[in-house]
């Protein structure tokens, strides 16, 4: 199977999932309020943890912000579960972005939309890879997927990228999850 055909299949699958989700939302809006979702999650706890972990693992391929899923998980799960699910998902998502960013066309997307930032990042990354990746991942104002793409494009070893992203995201996720839990207990 050639690259363009694979891209089309992935794109069609993504559109299909999106269409199903949007249809369900519009056909059954009463099912999508927070109290109903919490009840569904509590009644199907381990299935919900699995589904949420799956979503977090593949969110990077759809360029969905990890912060939005961190906040959502802290509403629906106890703090430790939310932190573990997000941490595991970040490792998988980072690996997928690293391995498939060129195949999915992220290189063109990021080069077009963030060209100046990419040039600066590439110059900085050659000096201190892990600390820069860690700091970038820790700061929620920067898109974490961008640093992963740049790391892949300049051939920084995957393990260095994983360590930096994992530590940075684990710290910021813990802060968000436990802070939110302080104000809105599970």
Q: Is residue 51 part of a domain?
A: yes
pLDDT for residue 75:
84
CB atoms within 10 A of CB 168: 24
pLDDT for residue 3:
66
Does residue 65 share a domain with residue 87? yes
Q: Is residue 39 part of a domain?
A: no
Domain count along the chain: 2
Does residue 116 share a domain with residue 77? yes
Higher model confidence: residue 155 or residue 63? 155
**Closest residue by Cα to residue 177 from 59, 90, 69:** 69
Q: Is residue 59 part of a domain?
A: yes
**pLDDT by residue (tens digit) across 90-126?**
999 999 989 887 777 777 777 788 788 778 877 888 7
pLDDT for residue 186:
62
Q: How far is CA 180 from CA 50, 80, 125, 172, 185, in A?
A: 22, 13, 33, 12, 8
pLDDT for residue 176:
92
* CB contact set of 13 (below 8 Å; sequence gap of 6+): none
Q: Is residue 90 part of a domain?
A: yes
pTM of the model: 0.76
Does residue 124 share a domain with residue 146? yes
Does residue 79 share a domain with residue 119? yes
Does residue 102 share a domain with residue 54? yes
Which domain range does residue 21 map to?
1-32
Does residue 26 share a domain with residue 118? no
Does residue 163 share a domain with residue 81? yes
8 A C-beta contact, residue 76 and residue 52: yes
């Amino acid at each position: 199977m050639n690259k363009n055909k694979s891209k089309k299949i992935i794109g069609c699958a993504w559109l299909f999932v999106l269409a199903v989700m949007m249809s369900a939302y519009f056909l059954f809006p009463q099912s999508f309020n927070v109290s109903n979702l919490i009840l569904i999650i509590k009644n199907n706890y381990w299935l919900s943890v699995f589904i949420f972990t799956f979503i977090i693992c593949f969110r990077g391929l759809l360029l969905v912000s990890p912060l939005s899923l961190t906040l959502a998980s802290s509403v629906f799960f106890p703090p430790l579960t939310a932190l573990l699910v997000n941490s595991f998902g970040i490792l998988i998502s980072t690996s997928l972005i690293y391995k498939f960013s060129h195949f999915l066309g992220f290189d063109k997307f990021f080069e077009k939309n963030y060209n100046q930032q990419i040039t600066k990042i590439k110059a900085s990354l050659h000096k201190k890879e892990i600390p820069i990746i860690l700091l970038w991942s820790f700061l929620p104002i920067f898109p974490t997927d961008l640093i992963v793409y740049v790391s892949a494009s300049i051939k920084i070893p995957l393990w260095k990228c994983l360590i930096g992203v994992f530590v940075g995201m684990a710290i910021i996720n813990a802060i968000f999850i436990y802070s939110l839990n302080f104000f809105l207990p599970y």
